[in-house]
Amino acid sequence: MRYVNLGRTGLKISTIALGCGNFGGMGSVPALFGKVATREEAFAIMDKAWELGINYFDTANSYGGGLSESFIGEWLKQKGTSVSDQVILSTKVYSPVGDGPNDRGLSRRHILRQIDLSLHRLGVDHLDLYIIHGPDPETPLEETLHALDDLIHQGKVCYIGAANMPVWLLTKALLISDRFHLHRFEWVQNSYSLLDQAEEHEMFPLCQDQHFGHTPFSPLAGGWLTGKYRVGEPFPAGSRMDLRPDFRSLVSEKTYPALDVLQRYATERGVDMASLALAWVMSHPVVTAPLIGPRRPEHLDIVNSALEIRIDTEERATIAGFFKNDNSQA
């Protein structure tokens, strides 16, 4: 495993991060709470991730209805300080955590309530990384940034970041932080994969200019880039596409031929398709550490193989070109 600084911070994270969105559910979908990775399965996944050298664990207060944070906290307690002092934790705030009108968003009230609940579930006295899970159009950005700045001054948070952010809003946040002398966002966490290359157009240039870190989620596009979904065949029972129909928007009928080309290319190169797709994401100089969200320990087998693959600029363009003519977000 290799370790790199996250943006301008002095924090070193593994170049592949563990996404814990499957612990106790599948993301923030209430209907799936308690129906995916159990406590024991989550522990096994974290055990393997740690053995592989992954030191960055990412979750959210809404994942599994809070179960994801709780599982991580219990695992850290079981492991003791020799592990817990070395794991870099990030969690998020914004998504609904209840049915009340104030159980969501980025208001000062919600942030101040949720940080303490997250710290309690995780069993820590501060967070290394705290992320807004998305923009809140109903709360002034100034209010959110002032609240996050207060958390840093209180010692509850070390660094702040933003997920699912458009370039214009992230730029506005930087201007507000500069104007009011607030701690700024230091990295961004948006979707990026061969099926979603939109980050390259505006976000990556901003990250490069501002020395932002970038920890992309869904580098395998919800499993599409593993080869498990085939044209004309039903989605495997219990798979992400089976349980989360919203992810199906990533592809069109034209995507399947591109996936076939990627599969053939990977075979000719002597590597598996998923490892190649992950290595492609990692090969962009702006990318700090992609998040992979395994549902079983064996899904982490691609980590070492992806780390061994080297992709130069020319090959990056060749592989990206496989998906330029489909209707995905490339």
Among the residue ranges 12-16, 159-163, 230-234, the one predicted with the least confidence is: 230-234
Q: Are 287 and 214 in contact (CB under 8 A)?
A: yes
Domain-located, residue 145: yes
Domain-located, residue 244: no
- CA 131 to chain CA mean position, Å: 10
Rg of the chain on CA atoms, in Å: 19
Instruction: Tell me how far apart the alpha carbons of residues 136 and 230 are, in angstroms, rounded to a whole number.
Output: 37
Which listed residue (3, 56, 63, 159) is catalytic?
A: 63
Q: Are 291 and 58 in contact (CB under 8 A)?
A: yes
Give the CATH number, domain containing residue 45: 3.20.20.100
Instruction: Tell me how far apart the alpha carbons of residues 199 and 194 are, in angstroms, rounded to a whole number.
Output: 11
Mean pLDDT of 305-326: 94
Q: Are 328 and 249 in contact (CB under 8 A)?
A: no
Domain-located, residue 231: no
Domain-located, residue 209: no
Say whether pLDDT at 242 is over 70: no
63 a catalytic residue: yes
Domain-located, residue 135: yes
Mean pLDDT of 316-328: 83
Percent of the chain with pLDDT over 90: 84
Instruction: Tell me how far apart the alpha carbons of residues 179 and 174 are, in angstroms, rounded to a whole number.
Output: 9
Say whether pLDDT at 49 is over 80: yes
Mean pLDDT of 53-78: 97
Burial label, 244 (beta-carbon count in 10 A; 0-12, 13-18, 19+): middle
pLDDT of residue 327: 46
Chain segment 244-267, per-residue pLDDT in tens: 666 666 667 778 899 999 999 999
Q: Which residues contact 203 (CB under 8 A, 6 or more apart)?
A: 167, 170, 188, 190, 214
- 124 is in which domain, residue-wise? 3-189
Say whether pLDDT at 98 is over 60: yes
Residue with tokens 């923030």: 28
Domain-located, residue 57: yes
Chain segment 5-26, per-residue pLDDT in tens: 999 999 999 999 999 999 998 8
Among the residue ranges 22-31, 81-90, 314-323, the one predicted with the least confidence is: 22-31
Mean pLDDT of 290-299: 96
**What H or E segment, with its residue span, contains residue 13?**
strand 12-14
Long-range contacts of 198-204 (CB under 8 A, 24+ apart): 198/329, 198/330, 200/284, 202/167, 203/167, 203/170, 204/284, 204/286
What number of CA atoms fall less than 13 Å from residue 261's CA on the CB side?
A: 15
pLDDT of residue 35: 77
130: three-class secondary structure by DSSP: strand
Domain-located, residue 274: no
Burial label, 32 (beta-carbon count in 10 A; 0-12, 13-18, 19+): middle
Number of domains in the chain: 1
Domain-located, residue 210: no
How does residue 31 score in pLDDT terms, banded at 50, 70 and 90?
Answer: confident
Percent of the chain with pLDDT over 70: 95
Among the residue ranges 216-225, 277-286, 318-327, the one predicted with the least confidence is: 318-327
How does residue 324 score in pLDDT terms, banded at 50, 70 and 90?
Answer: confident
pLDDT of residue 218: 95
Instruction: Output the average pLDDT for the chain.
Output: 94
**What H or E segment, with its residue span, contains residue 49?**
helix 39-51
How does residue 112 score in pLDDT terms, banded at 50, 70 and 90?
Answer: very high
